[in-house]
Chain A
Amino acid sequence: MRPSRYLTGLACVGALVSLCALTGCGHGGDPNLVHVNGTVTVDGKPIPLGLIVFEPDPARGNSGQQGHADIKDGKFDTRQSHKRVVLGAQVVRITGGDGVNPEPFTPFGNLLFEEHTTQMDVTKDQPPLQLDVPGQKTKKNP
């Protein structure tokens, strides 16, 4: 009598635990959204800290949500921000700083350049990007 009650209790606990585990999230896959990674340099040197934003270019007929990724030591990957990029024409905006003493209101340290804007196309199976920013415009902190 006693062992069976013990087993029933254990089974109840097991069932509840597996129920909790099963209700976890699955990943919805939109085929028009892809992850993009690559490197960003300023005058050939990696950007220590920054942000890259992919805006679907309305001037070239593209629309959709924005993708973005943090830049660290010249590398970025939208897998880390979970903000995927829409296929097609993009306006790419890059800001970056020297990474010295980042604070809330100078998140990348001293900015190495004002916001850099460029255009590109993102394709399915996008190979890693290699972007270079012409730099050396310094900017005052707020």
Chain B
Amino acid sequence: MNARRGFTLIELLVVIAIIAILIAILVPAVQRVRVAAARVQCQNNLKQIGIALYGYHDANKEFPVGARVDNGLSWRVYILPYIEQNNLFMMFDLGAGAWNGGPNREGPNKMVHALNRILVYNCPSQGNSIAANGSSTLVDGRKTFTSDYHGVAGPKGFNPATGAAYQVNTTPTGQGGFALQGILGRDSKTRFTSFTDGASNTLMVGEVSVWWNGSFLASDGADWVRGVGNGNGMAGCRNVQNAINTPYNGIFNDISFGSQHLGGAHFLLGDGSVRFVRETVALVVYKATASMDGSEVQVDN
């Protein structure tokens, strides 16, 4: 009897087909693990930001300004010492004047510092962390880094508890105005005691990932240093006007919160917890949680 019996072609093909099927089963599983890891990393980033915001509150008896007009900087600059970036923080001159004043936009005090990437400010699911907007590119062509996490400036629209509209500062116009009833907004000064709706019922920071023409852009395209630039565009915080993951409608301050995690976005709440909010949540509930003092009745869902 011949011990060296070979394979037939068909046996070989069947083996290859089975291996192909096994790989087809395995690859999506590996991909799912990667996606889950990115979500956990994103939650952890928000948690770190929450601890930093609370550290700032402990030291200053109030939360940092969301987006400050007189120097154009965002809250992300103010919490740098609390995420172990004190040396970078020391390079900022907080009294250097408005964003567009003189050489301020470029530096030495402002946008040039956004050449430093702060890992905690970017979600790993968002592959691109370069600020896409042309106004965030330095004159010499160097690109700055953006942040995927934005302060919740507050809701816009009708408050069912008071029967009136949520407070919005409409001047200067052109970009959707500035919602006033959130924790981190334009020239905001909130304390823990400002959250009369309850800290665990109020959104503080959320993810932003703009959907445009079939592809995602990093964040809102502005560098992480910027709070308010160009007069009326609020880069550090967002109004809550549309549902999570709504495409960009051309009104900059109303860019919706959103992410590349399937079906919703992560939010840091006023009590320091991090929750995933689904994009199909009732809009009235979403807006109620975006306000810190709207007196709405909260329903969990």
Checking A64, A68, A91 against B282 with a beta-carbon cut-off of 8 angstroms, the contacting residue is A64
Quick check: B212 and A53 within 8 Å, CB to CB?
Answer: no
Q: Across the interface, name the chain A residue whose C-beta is closest to B215.
A: A104
Expressed in whole angstroms, the minimum distance between the Cβ of B299 and any Cβ of chain A is 10
Quick check: A2 and B21 within 8 Å, CB to CB?
Answer: no
A103–B277 alpha-carbon span in the complex (Å): 29
Question: B213 contacts which chain A residues (CB < 8 A)?
Answer: 102, 104, 107
Quick check: A115 and B176 within 8 Å, CB to CB?
Answer: yes
Quick check: A66 and B250 within 8 Å, CB to CB?
Answer: no
Q: A64-B283, A91-B157 are in contact. Are A107 and B242 (CB under 8 A)?
A: no
**B251 lies within 8 A of chain A by Cβ:** yes
A45–B233 alpha-carbon span in the complex (Å): 30
Quick check: B160 and A95 within 8 Å, CB to CB?
Answer: no
Quick check: B160 and A58 within 8 Å, CB to CB?
Answer: yes
**A56 lies within 8 A of chain B by Cβ:** yes
**A27 lies within 8 A of chain B by Cβ:** no
A93–B156 alpha-carbon span in the complex (Å): 12
Expressed in whole angstroms, the minimum distance between the Cβ of B265 and any Cβ of chain A is 14
Question: A10 contacts which chain B residues (CB < 8 A)?
Answer: 14
Question: A130 contacts which chain B residues (CB < 8 A)?
Answer: none
**B109 lies within 8 A of chain A by Cβ:** no
Question: A2 contacts which chain B residues (CB < 8 A)?
Answer: 8, 10
**A79 lies within 8 A of chain B by Cβ:** no
Give a binary string over A14-39; 1 marks a CB under 8 Å from any B CB, 0 the rest.
00100010000000000000000000
Give a binary string over B230-257; 1 marks a CB under 8 Å from any A CB, 0 the rest.
1001000000011100111111101000
Q: A55-B283, A104-B132, A105-B252 are in contact. Are A66 and B210 (CB under 8 A)?
A: no
Q: A13-B17, A64-B282, A64-B283 are in contact. Are A104 and B212 (CB under 8 A)?
A: yes
Quick check: A97 and B250 within 8 Å, CB to CB?
Answer: yes
Expressed in whole angstroms, the minimum distance between the Cβ of B256 and any Cβ of chain A is 9
Q: A56-B283, A105-B252 are in contact. Are A13 and B157 (CB under 8 A)?
A: no
B residues within 8 Å of A by Cβ? 8, 10-11, 14, 17-18, 21, 24, 132-133, 135, 157-160, 163, 173-176, 210, 212-213, 217, 221, 230, 233, 241-243, 246-252, 254, 279-285
A21–B8 alpha-carbon span in the complex (Å): 30
Question: B173 contacts which chain A residues (CB < 8 A)?
Answer: 114
Quick check: A13 and B282 within 8 Å, CB to CB?
Answer: no
**8 Å CB contacts to B: which residues of A46-77?**
50-51, 53, 55-59, 63-66, 68, 70
Expressed in whole angstroms, the minimum distance between the Cβ of A51 and any Cβ of chain B is 4
Expressed in whole angstroms, the minimum distance between the Cβ of A113 and any Cβ of chain B is 10
Expressed in whole angstroms, the minimum distance between the Cβ of B244 and any Cβ of chain A is 9
Q: A53-B246, A68-B247, A70-B247 are in contact. Are A142 and B233 (CB under 8 A)?
A: yes
Expressed in whole angstroms, the minimum distance between the Cβ of B129 and any Cβ of chain A is 15
Question: A142 contacts which chain B residues (CB < 8 A)?
Answer: 135, 175, 230, 233, 252
A56–B285 alpha-carbon span in the complex (Å): 11
Question: B246 contacts which chain A residues (CB < 8 A)?
Answer: 51, 53, 66, 68
A90–B10 alpha-carbon span in the complex (Å): 63
Quick check: B21 and A13 within 8 Å, CB to CB?
Answer: yes
Q: A2-B8, A10-B14, A142-B252 provided; 7 other pairs, C-beta below 8 A? A: A6-B14, A13-B18, A55-B157, A93-B249, A97-B250, A105-B252, A142-B230
Question: B157 contacts which chain A residues (CB < 8 A)?
Answer: 55, 58, 91
Expressed in whole angstroms, the minimum distance between the Cβ of A56 and any Cβ of chain B is 6
**8 Å CB contacts to B: which residues of A89-131?**
91, 93, 95, 97, 102, 104-108, 111, 114-115
**A9 lies within 8 A of chain B by Cβ:** yes
A64–B301 alpha-carbon span in the complex (Å): 12
Quick check: B158 and A111 within 8 Å, CB to CB?
Answer: no
Q: Across the interface, name the chain B residue whose C-beta is closest to A33.
A: B280
Expressed in whole angstroms, the minimum distance between the Cβ of A54 and any Cβ of chain B is 10
The 17 sampled A-B contact pairs (Cβ below 8 Å) are: A51-B249, A53-B246, A55-B242, A57-B158, A63-B283, A63-B285, A66-B243, A66-B283, A68-B247, A91-B157, A93-B242, A104-B213, A104-B221, A107-B247, A114-B174, A140-B174, A142-B135
